[in-house]
Amino acid sequence: MSEQGGELEAVIGLEIHIQLATATKMFCSCALSFGDPPNTHTCPVCLGLPGSLPVANARAVHFGLMIGLALGSELAPRSIFHRKNYFYPDLPKGYQISQYDEPLCRGGHLGEVRIHRVHLEEDAAKLTHLGASGRIHGSDASIVDFNRGGTPLAEIVTEPDLRSAEQAGEWLKLLRTTMRRLGVSDVNMEEGSLRCDANISLRAAGSEQLGVKTELKNMNSFRFIERGIRAEIARQQKLIAGGGTVTQETLHFDPASGAITSLRSKEEAHD
């Protein structure tokens, strides 16, 4: 496969997490909060205490359906929550309650970008790593604030219909406005109520085949999203031009240095 000579185009799909503006959490009656003292909005359910059980928040389901209606999705007559099992200190039950093969909404579109699916899940707690690295590796200790844990999230997944960083940024603004009008979320990137991951690959212009994609995680402002995607496209272009191949991995964009680093380590493998 030699693509050096031909024109390459970027293929971008987005995964957007939106914290829903319900009064209470996804599976318990703790109030949603932002900026309150740590661990003041918790109960046996959202702390994952032994014996506790989740009860789905009807309002969150309602909001999820409103999102589906606004995006022209097909609403599921029957929808199932599943457990996504992995160990991490921000995940008190050892699994995240999410949706797998029967999401709340399927299909739809916003502008010319098609929607793959919309599903509901619960947010993780907030981890702070003490020490110089700021990451869990090499930290002296890590502390967990469970106030955020269990916040209802809608995950909106697009089809890979975006072709440039600018287009992705513009489209995300359209989505934000739509969600704000619906009143289902504050959609504030700085506070984390709107989060975006991007799947990025390159292919020969005009080709139908998708290239190997990388996933760029958790970019927390509109500016960083565009810069991050642009940097990743450039990285892949350079790699391919040099005769290399893209490997599927999860990446982190550092807005301060502009560097892209591999994020996936064993402890974050979600299989």
Partner 1 sequence: MSSDLLELTAAQAAGRIAAGELSAAALFAFYRERAAADRAGGEDGLNCFTWVAEGAAADAPAGSLGGVPLAVKDLFCTRGVPSQSGSRILEGYEPPYTATAVERLREAGAPLLAKTNQDEFAMGSSNENSAYGPVRNPWDRSRVPGGSSGGSAAAVAAGLAPWALGTDTGGSIRQPAALCGIVGLKPTYGSVSRYGMIAFASSLDQAGPLTRDVRDAALMLAQMVGQDSCDATSLQFPGEIGVPSAERLDGVRLGVPAELSGEGIEAGVKEAFDRSLEQAAALGAELLDVSLPHAPHALSAYYVLAPAECSSNLARFDGVRYGIRAEGAADLLDMYTRTRHDGFGPEVKRRIMLGTYALSSGYYDAYYGRAQRVRTKIAEDFAAAFEQVDFILTPTAPTVAFALGEKTGDPLAMYLNDYCTVPMSLAGIPAISIPCGLSGGLPVGLQLAGAAFSENKLLDAAHALERALAFDGSPAHV
Q: How far is the CB of 29 from Zn ion (least distance, A)?
A: 7
CA distance 152 to 246: 34
CA distance 71 to 177: 13
- Residue 46 binding partner per list partner 1, Zn ion, none, with a CB distance cut-off of 5 to 8 Å that depends on partner kind: Zn ion
- Residue 207 binding partner per list partner 1, Zn ion, none, with a CB distance cut-off of 5 to 8 Å that depends on partner kind: none
- Residue 30 binding partner per list partner 1, Zn ion, none, with a CB distance cut-off of 5 to 8 Å that depends on partner kind: Zn ion
User: Residue 46 burial (CB < 10 Å; 0-12/13-18/19+)?
Assistant: buried
CA distance 258 to 271: 30
Q: How far is the CB of 179 from partner 1 (least distance, A)?
A: 28
Footprint on this chain of partner 1 (rule: CB under 8 A): 44, 47-56, 83, 85, 87, 89, 92-95, 136-137, 142, 144, 266-267, 271
- The full length of the chain comes to 271
- Nearest-5° Cα angle at 222, 157 to 210: 40
Sign for the pseudo-dihedral over CA of 60, 80, 115, 154: positive
CA distance 266 to 264: 7
Strands 126-130 and 152-158: unpaired
CA distance 246 to 12: 15
Q: How far is the CB of 149 from partner 1 (least distance, A)?
A: 11
Instruction: Find out whether 86 and 94 touch, Cβ atoms under 8 Å.
Output: yes
Nearer to partner 1, 53 or 256 (CB): 53
Q: How far is the CB of 143 from partner 1 (least distance, A)?
A: 11
Nearer to partner 1, 81 or 171 (CB): 81
Nearer to partner 1, 4 or 265 (CB): 265
Q: How far is the CB of 44 from partner 1 (least distance, A)?
A: 5
Footprint on this chain of Zn ion (rule: CB under 5 A): 28, 30, 43, 45-46
Nearer to partner 1, 52 or 221 (CB): 52
160 SS3 class: coil
- Residue 50 binding partner per list Zn ion, partner 1, none, with a CB distance cut-off of 5 to 8 Å that depends on partner kind: partner 1
Nearer to Zn ion, 45 or 189 (CB): 45
Q: How far is the CB of 253 from partner 1 (least distance, A)?
A: 24
